[in-house]
Amino acid sequence: MITSVLVANRGEIALRIFRTARELGLECVAVYSTADASSPHVAEADAAVHLPGNTPSETYLRADLLIEAARKTGADAIHPGYGFLSENASFARAVIEAGLTWIGPTPESIESMGSKVESKRLMAAAGVPVLTQLSDVTADDLPVLVKASAGGGGRGMRVVRRLEDLAGELEAAEAEALSAFGDGTVFCEPYLATGRHIEVQVLADTHGTVWAVGERECSIQRRHQKVVEEAPSPLVSRLPAMRAELFEAARKAAAAIGYVGAGTVEFLADDDGRFFFLEMNTRLQVEHPVTELTTGLDLVALQLSIADGVALPPAPPATVGHAIEVRLYAEDPAHDWQPQSGVLHRFQVGDFATSERVLRPNVGTVDQISGNIPDEEGAQNASTRRKVGVRVDSGVADGGVVSVFYDPMLAKVICWAPERETAARRLSAVLARAEIHGVTTNRDLLVRILRHPAFLAGETDTAFFERHGLATLAEPLADKETEELSALAAALADAAVRRTSAKVQGRLPGGWRNLASAPQRKTYATANGTYEIAYRFARDGRLLGEHELLSCTPNEVVLAVGGVRRTFRVAAYPGLVCVDSPLGPVALTPVERFPDPTAQVAAGSLLAPMPGTVVRVAVAVGDQVKQGEPLLWLEAMKMEHTVAAPADGIVTELSAEPGRQVEVGAVLAVVQAPEESA
């Protein structure tokens, strides 16, 4: 029997596994890099082992250090979470050879699905529908999708629409795949531009029972990585006959490789219900909470039970209601999804006390679910007694640092409701009211997706962003009028701070004079523009102007705007003021009256949009380039980012070279017009 579990992972998934392990009476062991020393998952563990270094290759990808940490702490099992070594057959084999329990499928199953080329051959032989692999691409085959055989998470993927681009995209995909996975093998398959990404959760025990535990739809993606996930699938719900076919294909896939544990079989489907095998993830998925909330199962508890040799009952529980999950990333969707790093001053999303155990009685381990599986009628009756609820799975905390070394996901926010529209509406409201200070996130994009008529109608294929316009969807929730009101609130809160710290006459309104004088001024900048705020107080403390000040403290300003009371919560940090209100969140940068002239850079300078590593450089000094032409590529937060020429011109300076680590704002190159460089 397992008594102590080491989680060979970090952040949110480590905390998620700890939560279940504690409920089962198991000891929790964490590992952490130097950058993660203050991470919440370290504080939550019963014991934690430091892995010296920051990068994954130095720490979470070191199988020897992870196994030694288990020995050192007395852990008798290792759970890999997802990502890192979770689908590494060599690691699984090393864990087993060390005499520890591996909480996952056999190394042989992992190897079978580790190569997309080999896995498709196996699935075709098992009778699972697959897309044809293209050996010689012709113009008639276009568009095609280049994929990394050993990859996942969108790494090494390229869409090719013109035959003349194929060679270059193959070369780029091979380089990225080799860097990310140590295997540069890539292949081509037909590209379905408007497909649906449907996946089936499977669970299999060591006694031959294979469950298909509901399906999920994960079609809304950026860079081939999922952003919104839900269960059940809107497409499958519209075509109910499709569900049985999907489940049968998923069970065949698992049985074909003798699968044991939790896994996910992923398919690409069209609107007519035809589907094709994509890959099998031999691990727990990021989006597993939507399955938990619609079935009442604890998938981590089931993983532990299966690893202990417990048999599954003949069939899984029925699904109830609808669950939607969004991935909250520290990234800027409006600027090519650039990941963001820095201090996360405040992170408050919904009620952190709420968990899936509040939303639905959690069934838990295999022993607990035996004889307790509701039929479809009982499940539907149960749904009428459940309330809408929100779950937040996060690995960050106020004051933490979003590192450049790892994935930029801050949290998964999940909502369950009896019907899909209610879940979407509740989830969007929770996100809109969240207080996230310090880094740019995709929060506003997520809210706009959840409120979009096409999403509410279930029209959620993989071309969602292209069809409805990423620029529109990524617009801030707060409009210019809200930004200006928020800037006024920030200025008034700042005046309140000065009043409370004044040694004399602190009770007088800021800027008050016995005689009429010029207004007080404060300037703030946002991504949309600059706002110069001018305000004056009357002798009785009233704010002169079109808005009435009802109350003001350093942290809260209440204004009457056109006769409507509005409350603004204000939080000031070095170089940043965050204002939250029901009108929308606003991040303001105070503009200095006398800026430092040494901070300016030469015209045409290309600055690093984020901290990262230069992986490739395509130009040299003296080269003539066109606007939009790729000059170099940066790798940060598990993603590769293109730095392109801002205008036609000549490369006059180039400070970037492969392997160089750069900080945000570093000058990478300078592109000048021909007449300027002469």
CA–CA distance, 42 with 34 (Å, rounded to integer)? 11
Task: Report the distance separating Cα 454 and Cα 341, nearest Å.
Answer: 32
Supply the angle between the helices 89-97 and 107-114 in degrees, to the nearest 10. Answer: 170
CA dist 518 and 495 (Å) reads 16
Cα separation, 186 vs 160, in Å, equals 13
For CA atoms 468, 470, 471, 472, give the dihedral sign. positive
Rounded Cα distance, 49 and 42, in Å: 9
Question: What's the pLDDT score for residue 153?
Answer: 66
**What is residue 265's predicted lDDT score, i.e. its pLDDT?**
98
CATH for 480-590?
3.30.700.30
Please give the pLDDT value at position 480.
96
Contact present, 557 and 489 (Cβ < 8 Å): yes
Which has the closest alpha carbon to 53: 69, 78, 72, 36? 36
Architecture of the domain delimited by 196-473: 2-Layer Sandwich (3.30)
* pLDDT recorded at residue 78: 98
296: closest CA among 353, 235, 358?
A: 358
Which structure tokens are listed for 3?
């008594």
Residue 176 confidence (pLDDT): 83
- Note the CATH architecture for domain 4-103: 3-Layer(aba) Sandwich (3.40)
For the CA atoms of 417, 418, 421, 426, the dihedral, rounded to the nearest 10 degrees, stands at -20
Residues facing residue 243 across a β-bridge: none
**Helix/strand/coil for 607:** strand
Residues of the chain below pLDDT 50: 353-385
Q: Which two tokens stand for residue 232?
A: 């059940």
Helix (H, G, I), strand (E, B) or coil at 15: helix
Residue 510: HSE in the Cβ half-sphere, 13 Å Cα cutoff: 21
How much is the pLDDT for 135?
A: 79
Cα dihedral 276, 279, 285, 291, rounded to 10, equals 20
Of 444, 313, 439, 423, give the one whose Cα is nearest residue 369. 313
Note the pLDDT of residue 360. Answer: 39
Residue 30 has which token pair?
């964490």
b/e per residue 58-82 (b: at least 16 CB within 10 A):
ebbbbbebbbebbeebebbbbbbbb
Q: Which of 390, 383, 434 is nearest to 416 (CA)?
A: 390
- Convert the pLDDT of each residue in 92-111 to its tens digit: 999 999 999 999 999 999 99
Cα–Cα dist 30/86, whole Å:
15
CATH number of 144-190: 3.40.50.300, 3.40.605.10, 3.30.1490.20, 3.40.50.10320? 3.30.1490.20
Q: Do the Cβ atoms of 411 and 392 come closer than 8 Å?
A: yes
Q: Read off the amino acid at residue 244.
A: A
DSSP state of 628: T
Show contacts of 20-29: CB within 8 Å, 24+ apart. Answer: 20/298, 20/300, 20/301, 20/304, 21/300, 21/304, 23/301, 23/364, 24/301, 24/304, 24/365, 26/2, 26/304, 27/3, 27/74, 27/75, 28/4, 29/4, 29/5, 29/69, 29/70, 29/73, 29/75
CA dist 178 and 3 (Å) reads 38
* pLDDT number for residue 275: 96
Q: CATH says 600-677 is which class?
A: mainly beta
Q: How far apart are CA 535 and CA 543, in angstroms?
A: 7
Give the Cα separation of 339 and 405 in Å (integer). Answer: 11
- Beta bridge pairs of residue 555: none
Looking at residue 525, what is its pLDDT?
Answer: 96
Residue of 600, 598, 635, 597 whose CA lies nearest to 615:
635
- Exposed/middle/buried for residue 5 (C-beta within 10 Å: 0-12, 13-18, 19+): buried
- Which residues are catalytic, by number? 283
Show me where the domains of the chain are located: 4-103, 144-190, 196-473, 480-590, 600-677
- Cβ(559)–Cβ(547) under 8 Å? yes
Spatial contact of 216 and 235, defined as CB atoms under 8 Å apart: no
